[in-house]
Structure 1
Amino acid sequence: MVDSASAPPPEPQGPPEPAVEFTDTGASTGIEAEDIGEAGRMPFDPELIDVTPRSPTIDLVLQRLKRGLIDLQPDFQRRSGIWNDTRQSRLIESLLLRIALPTLYVAEEPDESWSVVDGVQRLTSIVRFVKPEAAGLKPLRLQNLEYLTQYDDAGFEDLPGRMQTRILETELSVLLIRKGTPEEARFNIFVRINTGGLPLSQQELRHALIPGRARTFLAELAESEEFLEATAYSVSPSRMAERELCLRFLAFWMTPPERYVTQDFDGFLRRTMHAINALSDTELSTLRRRFRVAMVGCDLLFGDQAFRKQFRGITRRYPINKALFEVQAVTVARCAPHDLPTLLDRTGTLEARFKELMDDPAFYDAISSGTGDADKVNYRFQSMKDLFHEVLHA
């Protein structure tokens, strides 16, 4: 029998375990689910919405792809949930059986190219089978068919001519959001239709609807060793959560928190992607260096607890909190070079003061609910700035 007098005191429970975001397969992304609050969306004129139904044949769609007028966004495929060969083969079987496919939703860009938002997996399956070289994809050979088993292991060229023609002449149902439709309206439309299966995350929508170098730049930052080490390799890339973290750092680095006055946090992040698209190579290099400095600094100062809630007397590690990521990373990035050695010598004090800050109900609220509210954004950034100042001058 254990002597209760000598047993260690139980660990404080602290706040309830936060909910997390999930991948396509139901696993944790390693990111705390966020309550961003009510979005103060920019108004738009409904009369400017221009959505046109189209019925192009697969052959015409492939011609657009060959001319670079369809953006399939290869890196948009959810890495853990991409359709396997069997599922892609059975979609081809549906075409051969003359079973209509669900409607594709695409957005028209200024150059009249199409960005595919809903239907990437379906189009990718068709392209892999019929013309994989048009998109640099691995050819698909049919497998595990349910009805047309005679075509198992067949490639497109192995099909009888009439079956090849049947595929190429299949008409696809496409809803095209024309280029004159305001961006806010385009996002609103896709949010409304984004209800089937596992809905796209906000970052997946931004990625689909805002083409340009911001896509590859965010991917580069998210795959950097500095980011992976600072986040303890704990963020799943399947829903682009890691790219959103990088985008949020860039947003508040390029637009200081005190100048954030909108309630439309999603619009704020979209505008940042457009701003990144307009930067020169030199400006991107400067951003890249600053991001890496922030990641290395956070890793050194906070260790494997970087970007996570911490509470006095509690040792378990919480998931990464998006609001803490942006506030810690930007605050570290804004430190003078000569301050970092001092902070490194006082990491114990930094940790203790941070846990004290987590006891502040207003700060806890600012990183937990309504995180897109301008007052809460400013409060959490000012609180972290004050904390660093106190540690430096302790």
Structure 2
Amino acid sequence: MTNSEPVVNLYDCDSCGYRYDPQDHAGVDFDEQPEAFECPTCQAGRDHFHVFTPPTDDVAPEPKEEGPAESRDPLGPRLMYTKASSPTLHSLYNRYTKGRLVPQPEFQRYEVWSVQKRSALIESVLLDLPVPQVFLAQEGDGASVVVDGQQRLMAIFRFFGNEYALKGVGKSIEGKKFKDLPATLQEKIENYELNVVEVLKESDPDIRFALFQRLNEGSVSLNDQELRNCVMRGPYNEFIKELSAEPAWRKRLKLKARHPRMVDVELVLRYMAFRDQTYLKHPDKKTSKFLDRQMSIGDQMSEKELADAKRDFRNAVELAETVFGENAFRRFVAGDVVNPGGAWDKRQNRALMDVQLWGFNRYEKGVYVKNADAIREATIELLCTSEFSDLLAHTISESKRIERRFDLWKNMLDEVLKGSEQGPRAFSRDEKEAAFSVNPVCAICNQKIQSIDDAHLDHVEPFSKGGKTESANAALTHRYCNQAKSNS
């Protein structure tokens, strides 16, 4: 008896680990989600998801670019000039050692093959099994870079270099490095011919990007940042990768090493894009285009401009730690009628990261440090409003919602840091802690407030009616209870 129940395809988010299950989304398969779909927990785009349970068919996924897919007329002007050849593995290795063939471990994506997978490839060569062809692209100086096949070539080159011993293969070669193999087997590997297609330098400059997209259809696709790393190589690409390795940045992202899918690099690029282009220039639902444009802008920046950008990034990351600590880039979720207690979200939110880092470049550093407690309190207040919470939760790439999100954050900062004739609008952290230590009970629902961050010090006489921000005019409440009172 066969099981007629279809296999359910699950998808994992590379950025936060969220697993997409169609059953949690009204039965809608991930491939049927619109191009603007975002991860419910971290707001990463569709390109950051990869299949967890392989599909049961071989239909290529829909193009991930928003809008109609661009196509080329096969009978139109020739855009790509190629040369096919069948060099031996030994000749490719010679080119590699001389710097004329550049796989680059960080090119395309990071080197991720296990020793077992590398060993299986070497065994395939020894068994005369076919190895998929490799695509190269010719540079202006005649050297070649790998467009597709980096993992295969590096497995071969590292074996030639005696960097690993074979594992999980036949007994006669198990545990052996290249130097340990009989001469006959060494020669068999060296003389193995690999099918190579090289895109010549006379081709359309944009052809490599298109080639990458075509080669990735039907397989585990590169995300947008991995594609940028492939086709937009240069000083600015190295610059943002360098910043992504800053210890303070990795600490904030909870990373011990570089992210295998370059999420850490893309988040640096997002910061730079909002810094240099401003949020008003973000095209509607086209964050990828926004970031691509930033790569072009960055390529034109002078050394001084890059130094200034590095300084601003470091200051923003440092201030995020100073003001918010472990809760930087995290939402504070207010309670509800059943449970008025609120709590910090466990996951980081990239929409909140955008505004927080951007905001930390608007005033001098010392101003933020001096007003850290007030900024933190005002931030939690803003996070508990239904409008701002919604702006962080979904559709974060819609231009109108981006503009509103940044405007609300900017207004909050200006109100806290510029002050008013009545004095500061928000009570200080010290004042709230003092009230909490005396009696941590909500003045509205009369239940105990479990967390100091969920406590709100409210004006008995409203600030809008002239009430002062002082202890005699303060009442301690749950954030939810205060918000519910304001909405009633």
Q: Distance in 1 between matches of 2:125 and 2:139?
A: 28
Q: Distance in 1 between matches of 2:296 and 2:69?
A: 16
Deviation for aligned residue 1:220: 2.5
Q: Distance in 2 between matches of 1:24 and 1:351?
A: 23
Q: Equivalent residue for 2:14?
A: 22
Q: Equivalent residue for 2:265?
A: 243
Q: How many residues align?
A: 364
Matches within 5 A, 1:207-226: 207-226=229-248
Matches within 5 A, 1:278-293: 278-293=300-315
Are 2:281 and 1:256 equivalent residues in the alignment? no
Matches within 5 A, 1:1-394: 21-22=13-14, 32-35=42-45, 39=66, 47=77, 49-50=79-80, 52=82, 54-57=84-87, 58-75=89-106, 82-130=112-160, 132=161, 139-146=163-170, 149-182=171-204, 185-195=207-217, 198-233=220-255, 237-261=259-283, 264-313=286-335, 314-357=342-385, 359-360=386-387, 364-365=390-391, 368-369=394-395, 371=397, 373-392=398-417, 393=419, 394=425
Deviation for aligned residue 1:226: 1.9
Q: Distance in 2 between matches of 1:181 and 1:306?
A: 46
Letter of the 2:220 counterpart:
L
Partner of 1:82, secondary structure, is coil
Letter of the 1:141 counterpart:
A
Letter of the 1:67 counterpart:
K
Task: Answer yes or no: is the 8 Å Cα contact 2:123–2:169 preserved in 1.
Answer: yes
Task: Answer yes or no: is the 8 Å Cα contact 1:366–1:376 preserved in 2.
Answer: no
Task: Answer yes or no: is the 8 Å Cα contact 1:104–1:173 preserved in 2.
Answer: yes
Task: Answer yes or no: is the 8 Å Cα contact 2:333–2:344 preserved in 1.
Answer: no
Deviation for aligned residue 1:292: 0.7
Change (3 A) 1:223 1:385: same
Letter of the 2:44 counterpart:
E
Gaps of 5+ in 2: 1-10, 21-38, 47-63, 336-341, 420-424, 426-488
Q: Distance in 1 between matches of 2:286 and 2:68?
A: 5
C-alpha RMSD of the superposition: 3.7
Deviation for aligned residue 1:48: 5.2
Deviation for aligned residue 1:125: 0.6
Gaps of 5+ in 1: 1-18, 133-137
Task: Answer yes or no: is the 8 Å Cα contact 2:225–2:263 preserved in 1.
Answer: yes
Letter of the 1:244 counterpart:
E
TM-score, scaled to structure 1: 0.77
Deviation for aligned residue 1:330: 1.3
Q: Distance in 1 between matches of 2:262 and 2:414?
A: 34
Q: Distance in 2 between matches of 1:378 and 1:20?
A: 29
Change (3 A) 1:105 1:75: same
Q: Distance in 2 between matches of 1:181 and 1:264?
A: 28
Task: Answer yes or no: is the 8 Å Cα contact 2:80–2:207 preserved in 1.
Answer: no
Larger relative helix fraction = 1
Q: Distance in 2 between matches of 1:159 and 1:53?
A: 34
Task: Answer yes or no: is the 8 Å Cα contact 1:23–1:236 preserved in 2.
Answer: no
